[in-house]
């Protein structure tokens, strides 16, 4: 029988380093899991939500059938090849979504990757009959996100003095004319819509 060779010192050191890493990983895993199981706070805040209308539910059916999921993620299923569509309804209006599906390049004002004439998603959309596009747009517009999440265009309701101060002192002067604070814009748009409603009612 061959004599067992003792480990060389280099091997011992390597084995020791591996052992330390292994133990740290095991301890980390146990700590993480025990915190996760005993904590009453959720690990991740849910930032997207939905409440479907009848047309939206119908649109979800068409969306699933057309296999938009092959590239998009929504409602916890799908892939991340294209954009995640959870919360898209807080960023885009139903009319925007419908217009995008029908004329992606025009709406994007530039080249698209997959939507558009002759492209993969474009072909899928063009095979859908026209009465299905609107319900799909309605379905997408009902995928909402809470204000302040990365998929919402509305910032969180509370103001940050620090950020306001930084913008106030560092933003170039011309930005103040060029851009409008999105919170002021939302207020202005709401006021305008209310005014229009009053005029329409007359």
Chain residues 134-193 in contact with ligand HEC, contact rule CB under 6 A: 136, 140
Query: In this structure, is the dihedral angle defined by the CA atoms of residues 131, 136, 139 and 145, taken in order, positive or negative?
Result: negative
CB of 137 vs ligand HEC, minimal distance in Å? 8
Closest CA to 112 of 133, 145, 102, 74: 102
CB of 197 vs ligand HEC, minimal distance in Å? 28
Indicate whether 92 belongs to the interface with ligand HEC (CB under 6 A): yes
Indicate whether 112 belongs to the interface with ligand HEC (CB under 6 A): yes
Give the residue nearest to ligand HEC (CB).
Answer: 68
For the window 125-144, what string marks contact with ligand HEC as x by the rule CB under 6 A? Answer: x----------x---x----
Closest CA to 51 of 167, 139, 154: 139
Closest CA to 127 of 200, 199, 48, 62: 62
The terminus-to-terminus CA distance of the chain in angstroms comes to: 105
Q: Select from 23, 30, 81, 171 the one that contacts ligand HEC (CB under 6 A).
A: 81
Q: Select from 47, 49, 58, 70 the one that contacts ligand HEC (CB under 6 A).
A: 70
| Number of amino acids touching ligand HEC (CB under 6 A) | 26
Q: Select from 20, 30, 113, 166 the one that contacts ligand HEC (CB under 6 A).
A: 113
Cα 200 to Cα 174: distance, rounded to the nearest angstrom: 37
Core vs surface per residue 154-191: b (16+ CB within 10 A) or e: ebeeeeeeeeeeeeeeeeeeeeeeeeeeeeeeeeeeee
Q: Select from 124, 147, 154, 186 the one that contacts ligand HEC (CB under 6 A).
A: 124
Using CB under 6 A as the criterion, which residues of the chain lie in contact with ligand HEC when the complex forms? 63, 66, 68, 70-72, 81-83, 88, 91-92, 97, 100-101, 104, 112-115, 120-121, 124-125, 136, 140
């Amino acid at each position: 029988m061959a004599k067992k060779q003792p480990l060389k010192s280099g091997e011992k050191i390597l084995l020791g380093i591996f052992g330390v890493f292994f133990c740290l990983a095991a301890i980390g895993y146990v700590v993480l899991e025990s915190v996760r199981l005993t904590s009453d706070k959720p690990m991740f805040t849910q930032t997207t939500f939905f409440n479907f209308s009848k047309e939206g539910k119908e649109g979800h059916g068409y969306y699933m059938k057309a296999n938009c999921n092959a590239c998009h993620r929504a409602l916890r299923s799908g892939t991340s090849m294209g954009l995640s569509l959870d919360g898209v309804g807080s960023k885009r209006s139903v009319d925007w979504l419908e217009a995008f599906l029908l004329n992606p390049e025009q709406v994007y004002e530039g080249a698209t990757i997959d939507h558009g004439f002759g492209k993969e998603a474009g072909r899928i959309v063009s095979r859908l009959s026209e009465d299905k596009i609107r319900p799909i747009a309605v379905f997408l517009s009902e995928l909402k996100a809470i204000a302040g999440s990365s998929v919402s265009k509305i910032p969180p309701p509370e103001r940050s003095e620090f950020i306001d101060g930084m913008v106030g002192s560092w933003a170039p002067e011309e930005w103040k004319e060029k851009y409008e604070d999105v919170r002021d814009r939302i207020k202005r748009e709401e006021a305008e819509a209310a005014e229009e409603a009053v005029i329409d009612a007359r």
